[in-house]
């Protein structure tokens, strides 16, 4: 079964600082970082709570960055080559491109798609907004 992938607690705190206030069906408890997902149909936003912050999905934040801040995140999968002489691939790695009006930032070799998404989101929040 495919499940939703949510931003980490640390990224959720950064999102709130940067003005993210979209409705979400999950939250983090500010006191202990505990993740809480509510029943379908319940939604929360950051302006409702002092002791909770919203936990959006990775995809939701990537869309918010596109629509609100004009930051486009592209995740690409590529073979990771250990031996450049024999070209033996050891598996896949993921790279990030963050496209703005004037600049493309590229970061490579994340182990999973989700790890690359989280890293790209965090980079945007810490360095571009």
Q: What is the mean pLDDT of each run of 10 residues along the chain (129 residues)?
A: 86 95 90 81 73 92 95 85 63 86 76 92 92
Q: Tokens 């080559």 belong to which residue? A: 81
Q: Are 54 and 25 in contact (CB under 8 A)?
A: no
Residue of 65, 60, 59, 53 whose CA lies nearest to 26: 53
Contacts of 14 (CB under 8 A, 6+ apart): 122, 125, 126
Q: What is the pLDDT of residue 83?
A: 62
Q: What is the pLDDT of residue 65?
A: 96
Q: What is the pLDDT of residue 78?
A: 80
Q: What is the pLDDT of residue 73?
A: 93
Q: Domain coordinates of the chain in residue numbers? A: 9-128
Q: What is the pLDDT of residue 89?
A: 59
Note the pTM of the prediction, 2 decimals.
0.83
């Amino acid at each position: 079964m495919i499940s939703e992938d949510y931003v980490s607690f640390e990224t959720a705190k950064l999102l709130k600082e940067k003005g993210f206030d979209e409705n979400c069906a999950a939250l983090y408890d500010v006191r202990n970082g505990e993740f809480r997902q509510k029943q379908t149909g319940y939604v929360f936003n950051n302006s409702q709570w002092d002791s909770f912050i919203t936990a959006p999905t990775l995809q939701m934040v990537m869309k918010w960055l596109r629509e609100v801040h004009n930051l486009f995140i592209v995740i690409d999968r590529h073979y990771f080559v250990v031996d450049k002489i024999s070209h033996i691939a050891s598996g896949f790695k993921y790279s990030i491109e963050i496209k703005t009006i004037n600049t493309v930032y590229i970061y490579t070799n994340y182990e999973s798609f989700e790890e690359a998404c989280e890293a790209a989101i965090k980079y945007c929040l810490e360095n571009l907004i």
